[in-house]
Chains A and B, each alone.
Chain A
Amino acid sequence: MAKKKKEEEYYKPKKRKLTTWDKIFYTGNFIFMFAFVVITLYPILNTLAISFNDGIDAVRGGIHLWPRVFSMKNYQTVLGIQGFRSGAIVTVLRTIIGTLTSLVANALLAFIVSRKRFLFKSQLSAFWVITMYVNGGLIPTFILFKFLHLTNSFWVYVIPGMVSAFNVLVMRTYMQGIPDSLEESAQLDGAGYMTVFIKIISPLCKPVYATVALFVAVYQWNAWFDAMIYNRLNVKYTTLQYELMKLLNSVMQQSGSAADAAATQGQAVSPQSVRSAATIITIVPIVCLYPFLQRYFVTGLTIGGVKE
């Protein structure tokens, strides 16, 4: 132990003595970072506190990091909303199905355009890169989906957005870094392209697959606009975020006095506290997962941002 410590000290670069300016800088930097963290976290923690606070009491304001009158009523109310429950199921389903299909489609396309021998690789790449910059816009897309009977259905969440040119470019860049010799030797052993894709390239691409899966999953989890535009009339296909938006609207339309009125009428919850509970339910899965996936999105962004 002692020996190890000595060694460490030996290898450590000699610490320069801090000048006064250094000290001022480090203190200033610390204050900046501290303020940054507070501004980032406080609103979320505040929402958490409100969600566990009694609704009528919360209208008085002044709740910061800890609930004043503890209550589970808000959560019970949220879970009692029919739309919210079915929205949660639809959101979970679209996240799982959408992520899987999108991953397979993007990976396969990236595999094709990253094959050096593929005859039309530049044409196919260009075909997809163009879609990153030009799109038909809201109204023509809506008409098309209506024509294809994608409106008022679950599949509008999955099928149209399956391929994303940006994700394909990220994957392509990664696949191009894999040596060709692997593919060639497999082909000498009689493997076809599909075998190469599934058995050789895909296992090596796990990090970039994770990155793209994360991007798609976050998009799917947070989507609400498609639910509002394409499935407005169909409560069956509502999503979590769209239900949250309805709650938000009800809060925004209700000014302070209206909330007070609700309180005097003897309702146990206020729109704001119900919305806080809904917000927390929606955030929890993300907050629990993202710290563990950090290195994946860091890789993905560095490939995608710097190279293309």
Chain B
Amino acid sequence: MARRKKEKEVNITPRITRKELKRQRVLLIWAAVFVVYGFVFCYLPLGGWLMAFQNYKPKTGILHSKYVGFDKFKVLFSDPQFFRVFRNTLAMGTLNLVTTFIMAILFAILLNEIRGNLMKKTVQTISYLPHFLSWIIVTGILHDAMSSSGTINEILLNLHVVDTYIPFFSIEKYFWPIVAFANCWKETGWNAIVYLAAITSIDPSLYEAASIDGGGRWAKIKYITLPSIRPTIMILLLINIGNVINAGFEIQYLLGNPLIIEVSETIDIYVLRWGISQMDWSLGTAAGIFKSLISIVLIFTGNSLAKAFGEERLF
């Protein structure tokens, strides 16, 4: 807080004068280029939201299609399929958020407790690897491991847990846990980076003092490590709460199949399906808008919750 104040004092933007404008001419020209670029690629598509209030036909285009008001939204909200995909998205998003968060924090704390730098480094290096693999590769690997002759079924059969193999990808109840597991597999090491950095920056004298006072390992984790990384946890939670609605597209799209479509389809896939196969672009856009709105609501809710509890805030 003190730092920010100091920054403000030094950080004085000059007044807009002709002289200053001339001095900054190069910056202004490039800034203008970036504004034009950003306007075209990031803001212009927002204009496409108009489509949701029209009966869009590619022939007539966005300017001359018939205006239908909120009709498309009415269709959307009366579609039982839409509620299903909405539920799937929120459920998988929350499950992913919770599991990846707990795993990353747990992994960071445990990794920090390892004695022996070489082992620590090696484990950490290996832990990043899955992050760099695409979802295509991850789903491929997952499919191999969980197929009828895959490793998981092999282990289960050998341990006599089951009598015949489990067709994991055709039973609804397995899909959400599989997605959560895949997310943990892919991102635990990567997400732990930030926590590890936060843990390393904790003043070692705190731990020494705790030792002198007779604090054990558990006490140190509970009273020093966790409170020290709490701001990091909060800010990352805030950033990610808005992403709950982005529960994912790739893994559900790649692993989804007609047998489990009831639980696998997310809003993004719904949009894609309406956009490409059903060719009702207006309905697809309406679903997309709904998703954006939920995302913004989630971010603001998270932010004000953090404010209410006196925690770190995003903005």
Which residues on A are within 8 Å of B, measured CB to CB? 21-22, 25-26, 29-30, 32-33, 36-37, 39-44, 46-47, 50, 61-62, 64, 105, 108-109, 112, 115-121, 124, 127-128, 131, 133-144, 148, 159-160, 162-163, 192-194, 218, 221-222, 224-225, 241, 244-245, 248, 251-252, 256, 272, 275-276, 279, 282-283, 286-287, 290-291, 294, 297-298, 301-302, 305-306
Contacts and interface: CB of A to CB of B under 8 A. Distances in A.
A118 B25 CA distance: 10
Given A33-B111, A128-B38, A117 B14 contact: yes
A139 B285 contact: yes
A125 to B, nearest CB: 11
B144 A286 contact: no
Interface residues of B, number: 96
Contact of A112 (B30, B113, B236): B30
B48 A143 contact: yes
A35 to B, nearest CB: 11
B194 A306 contact: yes
B127 A40 contact: yes
Interface stretch (B72-80, B83-91, B94-102, B291-299): B291-299
B137 interface: yes
B45 to A, nearest CB: 2
Given A124-B31, A136-B48, A139-B48, A131 B38 contact: yes
Given A144-B48, A162-B37, A251-B143, A306 B151 contact: no
A46 B151 CA distance: 9
A241 B134 contact: yes
26 contacts: A32-B110, A33-B111, A105-B34, A115-B24, A117-B13, A117-B14, A118-B13, A120-B28, A121-B13, A124-B34, A135-B46, A137-B49, A137-B271, A137-B288, A138-B272, A139-B281, A139-B285, A140-B45, A140-B288, A159-B41, A225-B250, A272-B144, A287-B129, A298-B193, A301-B197, A306-B235
B219 interface: no
> Main SS of the interface on chain B?
helix
Nearest to B135: A222
Contacts of A283: 133, 137
Contact of B24 (A144, A193, A272): A193
B217 A294 contact: no
